[in-house]
Amino acid sequence: MKSIGEEIQQSEFSDVYQKLGINILFTAAWFGELNRIALKDYDISLPQYNVLRILRGQKGQPISVAGLCERMIDKSSNASRIVDKLETRKLVSRRICDKDRRQVDVVITEKGFSLLEELDEKVPTFKGMMSKQLSSKDAEALNFALDQIRNK
Amino acid sequence: MKSIGEEIQQSEFSDVYQKLGINILFTAAWFGELNRIALKDYDISLPQYNVLRILRGQKGQPISVAGLCERMIDKSSNASRIVDKLETRKLVSRRICDKDRRQVDVVITEKGFSLLEELDEKVPTFKGMMSKQLSSKDAEALNFALDQIRNK
DNA sequence: TGCAAATATATGTACCTACATTTAATGTAC
DNA sequence: GTACATTAAATGTAGGTACATATATTTGCA
């Protein structure tokens, strides 16, 4: 099995934290790649997929474009244009919010919902990828450690 | 302090592995963002920075474009064009390999090396970001867990 | 040797992202 | 109520990425 050192063919790391940082970046890229490949057949990009999932998580409740931005993994990507693409394909719908006409309410459509259900079958789940190597207790600990890292 | 659940404002995760996957993606994006901000003043992109670091790691030994690709975090980015940019700024040099004239040997220049040394001061180190929250023993364990995850 | 297959890199293209700017609506102080 | 600052979203743009294709070189084999 390949360790991160073998993977990027670097034998020496200046320290274990350096190695961990690169390992996290590398693992994230690996995840992204697997998902991207799975989504390719459906002509849907990773950020588009993430937006659809966020909308599904809303359980019918609309969310603003700014709200989407906050919840997206890649904050700086352009939610407005991602929603454009999804709307063109009728996977989401968009209407001006009554309460504040600057805002736009975005919701997932029936079509978007059923596409997501189809994708659920194809996209590798984290559970499927990790549960054999990692106990749920270890996963919990890892979650805690990552939360720690992001909060000095 | 913010957990991943608070961070992306999702109260329920279907399972702890799902949560961990998103946590890894999120943490990687957070790292990337911090680095990107630090590099911005020097007008150098993240992939460019990574390539320079790989070249420094070569300790003077040249590496081919394909070799760079293998070691890069984002494998599918275009190493050829990244090297173009770096060469224009005279941070790396490129010459056709004598042994195999299809190959191109890339090395970091003195200018590139001293830029990297300057950047070392500015770019947040993983150690600086993590060592307060995580013992080196825990970091080692996390490294092992991530290596496990990527290899079913 | 000669020629097809394989390999290394470069390039063309469309799309995506980062960042600044614009447009429109709302809030606030006077 | 008017003027100014603030906020939400959209848009323009430059540059980066993904993927297919092109070009040059090497390898392997009849």
What angle (nearest 5°) sits at the alpha carbon of residue A39, between those of residues A35 and A44? 125
Q: Is residue A148 part of a domain?
A: no
Determine the Cα–Cα distance for residues B27 and A13; give it in Å rounded to an integer. Answer: 20
Higher per-residue confidence, B132 vs A28: A28
A52 with A110, same domain: the answer is: yes
Closest among B54, B48, B53 to B80, alpha carbons compared: B48
Q: Is residue B149 part of a domain?
A: no
- Looking up tokens 């608070």 gives B6
Determine the Cα–Cα distance for residues B63 and A20; give it in Å rounded to an integer. Answer: 25
Determine the distance in angstroms separating the CA of B101 from the nearest CA of chain A, rounded to an integer. Answer: 24
Phi, psi dihedral angles at A65 (to 5 degrees) = -60, -40
A88 with A51, same domain: the answer is: yes
Determine the Cα–Cα distance for residues A83 and B135; give it in Å rounded to an integer. Answer: 42
What mean pLDDT comes out for the span B50-69? 92
Higher per-residue confidence, A29 vs B15: A29
- Number of domains making up chain B: 2
A115 with A74, same domain: the answer is: yes
**Chain C bases closer than 7 A to any CB of the protein:** 7-12, 15-19, 24-27
For residue range A10-29, list pLDDT tens digits in order. 655 668 888 888 899 989 99
Position A1 scores a pLDDT of 60
For residue range A83-92, list pLDDT tens digits in order. 999 999 999 9
What angle (nearest 5°) sits at the alpha carbon of residue A145, between those of residues B142 and A17? 50
pLDDT confidence tier of residue B8, bands split at 50, 70 and 90: low
Q: E strand or H helix at A94, and its extent?
A: strand A92-96
With beta carbons under 8 A apart, name residues in chain A contacting B139: 16-17, 19-20
CATH number for position B122: 1.10.10.10
Q: Is residue B143 part of a domain?
A: no
- Rounded to two decimals, what is the model's pTM? 0.85
Closest among A100, A109, A61, A102 to A80, alpha carbons compared: A102
B27 with B93, same domain: the answer is: no
Closest among A27, A152, A50 to B2, alpha carbons compared: A152
For A3, the domain range is 1-40
DSSP state letters, B50-67? HHHHHHHHTTT--B-HHH
Position B10 scores a pLDDT of 64
**Considering chain B, what is the average pLDDT of its residues?**
87
B68 with B116, same domain: the answer is: yes
Report whether B71 contacts B54 (CB < 8 A): yes
Position A2 scores a pLDDT of 66
Out of A21, A138, A146, the one facing B23 most closely (by C-beta) is A146
What mean pLDDT comes out for the span B4-25? 76
B66 with B113, same domain: the answer is: yes
Residue B148 has pLDDT above 90, yes or no: no
DSSP state letters, B3-43? -HHHHTT----S-HHHHHHHHHHHHHHHHHHHHHHHHHTTT
B54 with B123, same domain: the answer is: yes
B100 with B57, same domain: the answer is: yes
Residue B81 has pLDDT above 60, yes or no: yes
Q: What is the DSSP letter of A74?
A: S
Determine the Cα–Cα distance for residues B146 and A134; give it in Å rounded to an integer. Answer: 9
Number of A:B CB contacts under 8 A? 187
User: Regarding beta strands B92-96 and A104-108, do their DSSP bridges make them parallel or antiparallel, or are they unpaired?
Assistant: unpaired
Report whether A95 contacts A64 (CB < 8 A): no
Determine the Cα–Cα distance for residues A34 and A20; give it in Å rounded to an integer. Answer: 21
* B11–A contact, CB cutoff 8 A: no
B36 with B49, same domain: the answer is: no
Determine the Cα–Cα distance for residues A103 and A66; give it in Å rounded to an integer. Answer: 9
Position A56 scores a pLDDT of 93
Position A13 scores a pLDDT of 61
Strand D lies under 7 A from the Cβ of residue B132:
no
User: Of how many residues is chain B composed?
Assistant: 152
CA–C1' A101–C24 (A): 9
Determine the Cα–Cα distance for residues A107 and A55; give it in Å rounded to an integer. Answer: 6
Rounded to whole angstroms, the maximal C-alpha distance in chain A is 59
A32 with A76, same domain: the answer is: no
What mean pLDDT comes out for the span B86-114? 92
Determine the Cα–Cα distance for residues A141 and A59; give it in Å rounded to an integer. Answer: 29
Three-class DSSP category at B85: helix
Give, rounded to a whole angstrom, the gap between the first and last alpha carbons of chain A: 33
Position B12 scores a pLDDT of 60
pLDDT confidence tier of residue B125, bands split at 50, 70 and 90: confident
Q: Is residue A145 part of a domain?
A: no
